[in-house]
Amino acid sequence: MSGVRMFGRTDDRIRNGARWARIKRSAGLGLLSAAVVGSITSFATESADYLKLPASFRNWYHVNTMVIDKGSPLFEAMGGMHNVYINSTGETALKKGEPYPDKTVLLVDLHEFTISDGSYVEGPRKATAIMLKDKKKYASTGGWGFQAWAGGDPTKPLVTDPTKQCFECHQPKKGQDYVYSTYIP
């Protein structure tokens, strides 16, 4: 796990070794839609255009940030700085560890990064990925719709087969409503 580093909000700084171990375990499998970015194909068909890129997600609750650097076996497929956000609909469920209600959106804002004087610095956006909860509409994928956009550009969707590109990687997290990110108080 030496290639995976986690950073939290200023008020969520790591305070002890036990918490750091818990964060590393949580990050070990990757964050929610990281698999979307790692297994994407070049361009999506119209079948996934019902999932829209939210405009104001940086005002949502910031769940955490994970950096996958060159020391990680995940770097080739998912390297970068993963900033994870959740909308207000799902924030309470996240904090209580409960199943997410319909209309919950989890979002990964994936960026390149540089290391400057030992600090990880966010660079250009590589992709933006979302999971949208709708138990009826997305019943075949655990109640979640998946999409990602190259460079965060809403005209460049990446997911053409949500089952293969996204849901297969999320199945091991069935007990967490198929979500990798967890709340770290």
At CA 103, angle to CA 58 and CA 124, rounded to 5? 25
pLDDT band per the 50, 70, 90 thresholds, residue 55: confident
pLDDT of residue 143: 97
pLDDT of residue 26: 42
Residue range 74-96: average pLDDT? 94
pLDDT of residue 77: 79
Q: What phi and psi values does residue 134 have, to the nearest 5 degrees?
A: -155, 100
pLDDT band per the 50, 70, 90 thresholds, residue 10: very low
- How many CA atoms does the CB half-sphere of 19 hold within 13 Å? 11
